[in-house]
Chains A and B, each alone.
Chain A
Amino acid sequence: DTEVTQTPKHLVMGMTNKKSLKCEQHMGHRAMYWYKQKAKKPPELMFVYSYEKLSINESVPSRFSPECPNSSLLNLHLHALQPEDSALYLCASSQGGGGTSNQPQHFGDGTRLSIL
């Protein structure tokens, strides 16, 4: 079991639905991340939160909206997704924060998202 918990594990949604992915960690980490991973590819960074503030947005379409309510929680709100958005969405966290955290990232097991 990982120390980064993601829910739900699986999600199927239509292109007009609104849903949210959730991530929780209790390791006291102050940096949290969202990644997208397609089959047979490495994870691609989407967003970085540092001390609950958005510090990096890798030019992700606005149909993905991140939120960090507190230091332990990270959400990803989804709206009007496209079939090509079907992927494994991974959350990660690391110690420290700011823009210079060189600590390793710890990943959850992801949410497998399918867009119909």
Chain B
Amino acid sequence: QKEVEQDPGPLSVPEGAIVSLNCTYSNSAFQYFMWYRQYSRKGPELLMYTYSSGNKEDGRFTAQVDKSSKYISLFIRDSQPSDSATYLCAMIKAAGNKLTFGGGTRVLVKP
């Protein structure tokens, strides 16, 4: 079983809809959580970084962390075609600088 599970998609939504992405993890040692966006032929771009349970908002993006359920989410409001990309969740254990990635979810926002 993988330490971090993420649905590969593709997730197809109409423009303007809310995109909902999530990851589950099995190891409670993970304490720091990130979401990255990766366009084709580009490197991952950091979208959100959180380290406590609860919500964090940045523009159209909201990250949620529920450590008790070992579940993290990313919501994208008012989605645009330019949001079409692969979204990777990633997390770090309390001691250590190794990122553990989910497998990535491909998102398609249709005009």
Instruction: Give residues in A with beta carbon < 8 Å to B.
Output: 2, 4, 6, 31, 40-43, 45, 48, 50, 56, 88, 90, 92, 94, 96-110, 112
Chain B: minimal CB distance from A69 (Å): 21
Q: Are A48 and B97 in contact (CB under 8 A)?
A: yes
Per the CB 8 Å criterion, the residue count for chain B at the interface is 25
**Residues in chain A near residue B95, CB distance under 8 A:** 99-100
Interface centre among B8, B34, B43, B104 (most CB of A within 10 A): B43
B32 in contact with A102 (CB, 8 Å): yes
Q: Are B98 and A48 in contact (CB under 8 A)?
A: yes
Residue in A closest to B39 when the chains form the complex, CB atoms: A109
Indicate the member of A96, A98, A100, A102 with the most B CB atoms within 10 Å: A102
